Amino acid sequence: MPTPNPHTLAHDHDYEEFVFHIGVDPEHPEELGAEIEFVVGGETLKINKTSCLYIPKGVPHGPLTWKKVEKPHLQMVVMPGAGTLKESNPAGYLPSEKKQRS
């Protein structure tokens, strides 16, 4: 389980977004190994299979909450056009107190 859970709160972007949840069991790649609730446009989605969600720019989404984790899995976000972490993750961006590498 991620800590904190949820780690992604309600927000929107000026960019379209693709959110992948990918099961990594080679015998059952379609099985996510987790149960996730993700609110998109006011609708609560329940995710338990390998999937990709397309979220158009400006559509509110979040929170994203893990309800159960049975196996490791991947979460990956692709946001074409976002140039910085802050632009792509306004709900969860926390600037590092450590000096950024050039």
Indicate whether 59 belongs to any domain: yes
Has residue 52 been placed in a domain? yes
pTM assigned to the model: 0.81
User: How far, in Å, CA of 66 to CA of 35, rounded?
Assistant: 6
List pLDDT tens digits, range 44-98. 999 999 999 999 999 999 999 999 999 999 999 999 988 777 777 665 555 554 4
Within a domain: 90 = no
76: domain range? 17-80
Q: How many structural domains is the chain composed of?
A: 1
60 part of a folded domain:
yes
**3 three-state secondary structure:** coil
In this structure, is residue 5 part of a structural domain?
Answer: no
pLDDT at 87: 72
Task: Give the per-residue pLDDT at 93.
Answer: 54
